[in-house]
Amino acid sequence: MDEATTQKKDIILNAAIKVFAEKGYYSSRTLDISNEAGVAYGSLYHYFRSKDDILMSIFQERWNLLIAKVRQVREQGSGPEEQLGMVIDFIFRSYRQNPDLLKVMIMDVPRLDKFYNPENWKLYNLFFRGLMEIFHEGQEQGVFAADVSPILATIIMHGAVDATIRQYVYNPEFNKEEFPVEEARGQIMMVLRRGFSKKVEGEKS
Amino acid sequence: MDEATTQKKDIILNAAIKVFAEKGYYSSRTLDISNEAGVAYGSLYHYFRSKDDILMSIFQERWNLLIAKVRQVREQGSGPEEQLGMVIDFIFRSYRQNPDLLKVMIMDVPRLDKFYNPENWKLYNLFFRGLMEIFHEGQEQGVFAADVSPILATIIMHGAVDATIRQYVYNPEFNKEEFPVEEARGQIMMVLRRGFSKKVEGEKS
DNA sequence: GTGTCGATTGACTGATCAGTCACTTCATGG
DNA sequence: CCATGAAGTGACTGATCAGTCAATCGACAC
């Protein structure tokens, strides 16, 4: 795939993110996407097999960035708590940079039947596996409580971040002024750190 | 609305829950619903204005049960931790009794544009308000940490439960045998209790 | 100048479905 | 036993759209 093709695909994907975020996947017309992207209707089908394929491509491309981030954080090798913090930071930063993308990832991607295929699950679970490794390492180092399952810890963490971003994206009564992203990020980290951490008294690490 | 009408509506709603859970809202045909319910196609439109109306009715009816549960728990008046535990229990029990319902509530309801109207937000936030009150009370009693915002605490709790149920419903790699609902419930409660609780050392309640 | 081939175009089509409506059946009560 | 209207029926329709395709463009090669 040459450079120009990659660029054109990217233009279309970004247009699609905007359109899907605005109207939701099912209410979005492929014509809207081509208009937004500034390409002819038919061109969409030159670069992508179908409307579904566009959404799946958004997921795969962007989720890989998340996985890459986890890998990078792991290789960098600071403490487990810092590592989790960096992943959470990355997600919140992604939201600030492109709220539309997060909206699509959270609301549209998981609603598409075609999303639930083995290939995507594998990709999806790669992220969780990365988090679980961090967590497990933390347990071995005595930083995190040993009686919490890494799987559950990961799910809880993901759920907390996901639900918070949902509030930002959707809930009009959720006061964004009083509750800047930074604040939310900090509080989640605080609760999770306490929730996961080994009790402070007299344990040897 | 007489008894018979209420019953018929309920039959249709339960059929719709089953169909929506199976195929997702947008892929479900209203014909499928009438077949499942054992009523004529046209009858749907005798009892409900539209397909949207059916989904919204599911949300409103069942969400009110959740709100009622929170109210009941509050009136019963045990400690804040127990109260939160009872709400979480109720949700997990609902899932065991009727996984389809939870699937629809988590995946289909929030995906419908029409869901986001002031009336529904009011209902939706009533639940959160209830949890926040429990949490706030816990802070005043010195059970929960004062430096965690009740709003965030509520969102984190809801997100954790939501994400866990999602795993049960969707993730084929999530091992339900090894990880029974009871186990998940217990671990979530543990993490949240630690995450929210005031530090144990030398505080007076 | 001509040939080749990928990129681009947008009018068109075939299928899909939510919702309608004219009709029938049923229950109630006078 | 008829009248009234609510409950129930399902064939039909009108609108909607994803995806197709035949035609055109443009870049590069020889």
CA at B41, C1' at D4: how many angstroms apart? Answer: 25
Cβ-based contacts under 8 A for chains A and B: 128
Let me know if A75 is exposed, middle or buried by CB neighbors in 10 A (0-12, 13-18, 19+).
exposed
Q: Are B194 and A194 within 8 A, CB to CB?
A: yes
Round to whole Å and give the CA distance between B122 and B168: 29
Round to whole Å and give the CA distance between B155 and A162: 10
Residues B152-181 have pLDDT tens digits of 999 999 999 999 999 998 877 787 778 888
Chain A: residue nearest B25 by CA? Answer: A111
Query: Percent of chain A scored above 70 by pLDDT?
Result: 97
Residue among B156, B157, B193 with most chain A CBs within 10 A, to mutate: B156
CA at B7, C1' at D17: how many angstroms apart? Answer: 37
Round to whole Å and give the CA distance between B87 and B83: 6
Q: Which nucleotides of strand D come closer than 7 angstroms to any CB of the protein?
A: 7-11, 17-22
- Statement: residue B136 has pLDDT above 60: yes
Tokens 């004062």 — which residue?
Answer: B146
Residue among A191, A198, A203 with most chain B CBs within 10 A, to mutate: A191
- Statement: residue B199 has pLDDT above 70: no
Query: Is A171 in contact with B111 (Cβ distance < 8 A)?
Result: no
Round to whole Å and give the CA distance between B129 and B123: 10
**Nucleotide whose C1' lies closest to the alpha carbon of residue A41:** C10
- In SS3 terms, chain B reads as CCHHHHHHHHHHHHHHHHHHHHHCCCCCCHHHHHHHHCCCHHHHHHHCCCHHHHHHHHHHHHHHHHHHHHHHHHHHCCCHHHHHHHHHHHHHHHHHHCHHHHHHHHHHHHHCHHHCCHHHHHHHHHHHHHHHHHHHHHHHCCCECCCCCHHHHHHHHHHHHHHHHHHHHHCCCCCCCCCCHHHHHHHHHHHHHHHHECCCCCCCC
The structure tokens listed for B30 are 């209203």
Mean per-residue pLDDT, B74-97: 94
- Mean residue pLDDT of chain A comes to 91
- Statement: residue B135 has pLDDT above 90: yes
Residues B12-45 have pLDDT tens digits of 999 999 999 999 999 999 999 999 999 999 999 9
Domains and their CATH numbers in chain A: 1-48 (1.10.10.60), 50-196 (1.10.357.10)
**Nucleotide whose C1' lies closest to the alpha carbon of residue B8:** D7
Mean per-residue pLDDT, B79-98: 95
- Statement: residue A196 has pLDDT above 70: yes
Round to whole Å and give the CA distance between B153 and B148: 7
Query: Is B155 in contact with A164 (Cβ distance < 8 A)?
Result: yes
Residues from chain B contacting residue A199 (CB–CB below 8 Å) = 200
Distance from CA of B54 to the nearest CA of A (A): 18
Confidence of residue B201 (pLDDT cuts 50, 70, 90): very low
The CA-based dihedral angle spanning residues A8, A12, A17, A18, taken in that order and rounded to the nearest 10 degrees: 110
Confidence of residue A204 (pLDDT cuts 50, 70, 90): very low
Task: Give A199's DSSP letter.
Answer: P
Query: Is B125 in contact with A184 (Cβ distance < 8 A)?
Result: no
The amino acid occupying position A176 is K
Mean per-residue pLDDT, B101-106: 96
**Closest by alpha carbon to B10, among B117, B135, B101, B119?**
B101
| Residues 21-50 (B) near nucleic chain D, CB < 7 A | 39-43, 45-47
Round to whole Å and give the CA distance between B39 and A8: 50
Mean per-residue pLDDT, A53-64: 97
Round to whole Å and give the CA distance between A23 and A26: 8
The amino acid occupying position B103 is K
Residues A72-118 have pLDDT tens digits of 999 997 999 999 999 999 999 999 999 999 999 999 999 898 898 88
For strand D, is any atom closer than 7 Å to the CB of A57?
Answer: no
